[in-house]
């Protein structure tokens, strides 16, 4: 009887839907890593072949120039195009794997996942901090710590489990190409950036939870991820590339994360494409630095949009120039147009608040974090998550960056 109840809860929460203007059901989460697999490969022009796009690219426009669609039924195909562009120009491919190549079990309160590939193995161990009780529990995957840089009490008070992702088990913070753990499995992808490798590791942990099943005591339909700074970028990429993640909270992700490369190029001493950490991306990406940034066919509002129709909360901190929060603000406004088009704008919010240390959540941002956690990890659909807080940028003309939003 208990198993039937668990299955019923899974199905109910997985397919809770809202109805957009085109009457398409809009899932809150999926039970597969990527629903956009299987679409045709698109043309990926070189730097010399690329057309300059001075404003933010249209997230709804087909890559072949044949038109655009704001209909949810077309979003899987458009996601596929954006993923292909992100991985080709910035990251390298996120390797695919069969679950037949995985082993997983619980060692007390630690999830152990072993990946087998080409005669090599890679072991992931993730400690889980459980609430009291039997579960299954919603869970937050925190980069480095069970709740990332967010206060533990937000999750502990809500009986949400915390899963610590040790990213160094996959690739170090400043990788040496060819010498990282993941390189043993995929020597053909030695050029990959860390933001392809780390999300791969997160996905293998979720695979492990699925393999372990009830023994994990985790509610697989209510998994979130969070991190701050470089780990905030990591959370964003993980949420973008794995649709089993119901909620992504990207805390102060800066350049290479939420920020638009194009907008950042117009600001001061900030993390532009040419100034970001080279080990996190493909070396070939850096040919698009400075004036060439307008030749990229995509930008990071589209990275964020890959999370749609699932939930995303972006937290910003304007006290640090390097974080380029004006760029974050513009990119958030642009990305949010995707959720708006599907009639689910309550699933994407942003909060940019001053007067606090880097990666230290101020009390003024607790309400929005708690609201998104309550709604998308605990299933409290009555909670209001319409959050667009950035008072210091109220006079910024973000619309000039998105002429397509007026179409």
* Active site amino acids: 229, 358
Residue with tokens 């949420």: 239
The Cα–Cα gap between 215 and 105 comes to 8
**Contacts (Cβ under 8 Å, ≥6 apart) of 368:** 313, 315, 349, 351, 385, 387, 389
The Cα–Cα gap between 142 and 40 comes to 34
Structure-block tokens of residue 132: 């009291």
The Cα–Cα gap between 302 and 298 comes to 7
Residue 397: burial class (beta carbons within 10 Å; 0-12, 13-18, 19+): exposed
The Cα–Cα gap between 371 and 39 comes to 35
Contact 347, 371 (CB under 8 A): no
The SS3 call for residue 273 is: coil
113 - beta bridge partners? 104, 124
């Amino acid at each position: 009887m208990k198993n039937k109840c668990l299955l019923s809860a899974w199905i109910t929460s997985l397919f809770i839907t809202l109805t957009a203007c085109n009457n398409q059901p809009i899932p809150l989460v999926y039970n597969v890593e990527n629903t956009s697999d299987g679409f045709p490969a698109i043309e990926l022009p070189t730097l010399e072949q690329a057309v300059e796009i001075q404003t933010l690219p249209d997230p709804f426009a087909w890559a072949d120039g044949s038109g655009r669609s704001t209909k949810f039924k077309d979003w899987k195909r458009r996601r596929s195009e954006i993923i292909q562009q992100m991985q080709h120009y910035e990251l390298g491919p996120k390797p695919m794997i069969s679950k037949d190549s995985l082993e997983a079990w619980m060692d007390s309160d630690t999830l152990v996942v072993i990946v087998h590939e080409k005669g090599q193995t890679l072991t992931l161990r993730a400690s889980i901090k459980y609430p009291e009780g039997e579960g299954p529990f919603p869970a937050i995957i925190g980069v480095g710590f069970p709740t990332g840089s967010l206060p533990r009490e937000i999750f502990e008070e809500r009986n949400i489990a915390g899963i610590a992702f040790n990213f160094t088990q996959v690739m170090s913070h400043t990788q040496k190409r060819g010498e990282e753990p993941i390189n043993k499995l995929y020597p053909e992808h030695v050029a990959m950036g860390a933001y392809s490798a780390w999300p791969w590791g997160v996905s293998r942990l979720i695979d492990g939870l699925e393999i372990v099943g009830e023994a994990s005591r985790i509610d697989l339909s209510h998994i979130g991820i969070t991190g701050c700074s470089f780990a905030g970028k990591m959370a964003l990429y993980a949420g973008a590339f794995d649709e089993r993640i119901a909620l992504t909270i990207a805390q102060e992700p800066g350049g290479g994360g939420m920020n638009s490369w194009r907008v950042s190029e117009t600001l001061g001493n900030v993390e532009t494409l040419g100034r970001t950490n080279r080990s996190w991306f493909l070396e070939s990406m850096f040919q698009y630095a400075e004036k060439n940034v307008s030749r990229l066919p995509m930008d990071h509002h589209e990275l964020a949009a890959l999370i749609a129709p699932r939930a995303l909360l972006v937290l910003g901190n304007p006290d640090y120039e390097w974080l380029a929060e004006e760029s974050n603000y513009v990119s958030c406004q642009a990305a949010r147009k995707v959720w708006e088009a599907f009639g689910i704008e309550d699933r994407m919010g942003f909060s940019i608040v001053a007067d606090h240390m880097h990666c230290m959540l101020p009390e003024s941002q607790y309400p929005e974090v708690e609201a998104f956690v309550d709604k998308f990890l605990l299933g409290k659909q009555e909670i209001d998550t319409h959050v667009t807080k950035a008072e210091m940028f109220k006079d910024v003309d973000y619309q000039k960056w998105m002429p397509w939003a007026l179409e």
